[in-house]
Amino acid sequence: MSAVLAALVLLAAPPAAGPGDLAAAWLRDGRIQTRAASRESVTDRTPLGSTWKLFVYAYDVESRAEAPAYHCGTARRAGEEYCCEPGQSVGRDAALARSCALYFEPLRLGIEPAAWRRFWEARTDPTAAWLADLARLRPETSVSVDELLHGLAAVPGVSRSAAFRALLPVQIDGYGQGALRHLGGALRVKTFTWSRPRRPGTSIGGGAGWLVDGTPVWFSARGSSRTVLTRDAEQLAAWLPAPTRGPDDEPCVTVDFFDRYPIRALDRLPSRTAASPGSLRGRYRVLFESGTALVFESGGELRLEFEGARLRIRGQLGLDEYVARVLDREADPGAGEAARALAVVARTWLVQHAAFEGGCFRVADSTRAQRVSPSPATNAARQVSVFTDGIVLGGEDVRYRLEGGGPGVLAWNTALAQAREGRRYDEILSLAFPAATLAALTGERECLRLPDVEAWLARATSRWRRSLSSEDGFEPPEQALTVCGLGHGSPYVDRSRLRVYVRGARSRDERVTLAHEYIHLGFRFHPHGDDEAFVERIARTLEE
């Protein structure tokens, strides 16, 4: 008997409402934990179904060689209904979200079994040895739930984060739409529906993937994946552990703390000695010119800086931590569905109104923007923020205030009253913003594409590669680069998403800048990539 089967028998819960055959398992801190609605739902094996695509997706991302988009012909091929309309194409992320098996065919992607085996054997232990055999990567393959969870745990962080972004739309407007009310954005799974081997004519549905903190999860029940997510989402939400944090590569937010309150002094506690410029770690007392004071804590995420003669405190936070600190400062994170609604609004307001520079959103801690707690978020606020991870409102400009709502405004007191009436966070948002819809923050809002510059860069990189091929450490990005317009600040690259932020390619200086940022990417795995003198010298050589 496997560990999962034994645990399911021991931890079987009382039958849930409905068919009562839901089962779930997750892997955390090296231990598999499980729940089952009844003894009927206990199982130690699961078909891969569509979850095999997750592993091909991860291999494709990690090999840095994204295949060409899959093109749907005018004469429909079986399976293309999950990919694209006739005459259109689908890329890697959309193919995963839509479950386009034709995109991920190993033969089409040129995956060699030996290379596949080397890749996964270097990352797995014996509990996931099945994953190294490319021939077993088929939807009908049955593996133990233990093996599947350990296989998901072996997916590297970069490709797991990429999958998070690709799968979020599934939760919001795809098969997982019916579960969004109960599961929020904290669950990122590839859904599957497959026939039940012992019961001809019936099917099981479910999903496998991760919580946003990287915890591998699996669940299944009788019916299709859509049916299971709609019918059993509330039970699943009650079972699954709360994520402990947001994604590894979540967007960052630079906060100018106390923006409208000049600082007279900052003292370290308990010594009451003046704090030195630089990273802040410990407890501090900030004294304002007005004579008021405030005590806060910092774990190094805040810095004391001089701006001329003025003292400034700036912080760089992950987006979920930022939203949680807004909840702590402006509301009550223990207010359940009202707090969840405000978390979505706070995240949306930031994306709509904050500047984006140097790879981070930038915002002032001010009543004109959003007040942000300088201390680490409370556990209650962090749980609310992570539950709504990646969820924003689209189609309407949003604001909020304590009371007195109106068009495009969430009134906190009204949200509290609606929550007490039993309204869920999505209902509260719908009442406050009737023209808006829930949407996924996938990073596209952070990038104003420059197609003309992308086309110029694609032509230029073909000749740059020939010049750079003899340089030690040069590994050209195989994926086409995305070029984003930069409104202000210095040009830079987002290495994890292969994005270049520049102003254009009109002048020679702008073209040298593009070459400069491309070289950073080409040497991102080598010390040359961090040597500014080397990068600038080569860039000017390329564009002589």
**Mind listing the pLDDT tens digit of every residue in the chain (544 residues)?**
344 333 333 333 333 344 468 999 999 999 999 998 876 665 788 999 999 999 999 998 888 655 788 999 888 888 899 898 888 999 888 899 999 999 999 999 999 999 999 999 988 877 778 899 999 999 999 999 999 999 999 998 888 988 998 898 888 876 667 788 999 999 999 999 888 766 667 788 899 999 999 999 999 998 888 888 888 999 999 999 999 888 887 888 999 999 889 999 999 999 999 999 999 999 999 999 999 999 999 999 999 999 888 899 999 999 999 999 999 999 999 999 999 999 999 999 998 888 877 668 899 998 888 899 999 999 999 999 999 999 999 888 899 988 877 778 999 999 999 999 999 999 999 999 998 989 888 665 566 778 788 888 888 888 898 889 888 888 887 667 888 877 656 787 777 667 788 888 888 888 998 999 888 888 877 888 778 888 889 989 888 7
Tokens of 534: 């080397």
Asked if 215 and 241 touch (Cβ cutoff 8 Å), the reply is yes
**What is the C-alpha separation between 284 and 50, in angstroms, rounded?**
52
CATH class, range 447-542: alpha beta
Half-sphere exposure of 312 (CA within 13 A, CB side): 15
Our CA dihedral for 79, 85, 88, 89, rounded to 10 degrees, sits at: -40
Angle between helices 337-353 and 319-330 (to 10 degrees): 120
- Indicate the pTM of the whole model: 0.79
CB count in 10 Å sphere of residue 414:
18
The pair of three-digit structure tokens given for residue 200, joined into one six-digit string:
């001809």
CA 291 – CA 376 distance, rounded (Å): 24
Q: Give Cα 357 to chain centroid, integer Å.
A: 19
Contact 438, 426 (CB under 8 A): yes
Residue type, 219: F
Q: How far apart are CA 107 and CA 449, in angstroms?
A: 32
What is the SS3 assignment for 321-348?
HHHHHHHHHHCCCCCCHHHHHHHHHHHH
Domain ranges in the chain are: 3-239, 252-444, 447-542
Q: How far is CA 15 from CA 22, 239, 259, in A?
A: 9, 13, 54
- The Cα 204–Cα 191 span in angstroms is 11
- Distance between alpha carbon 239 and the CA centroid of its chain, in Å? 22
Q: Which CATH architecture has domain 3-239?
A: 3-Layer(aba) Sandwich (3.40)
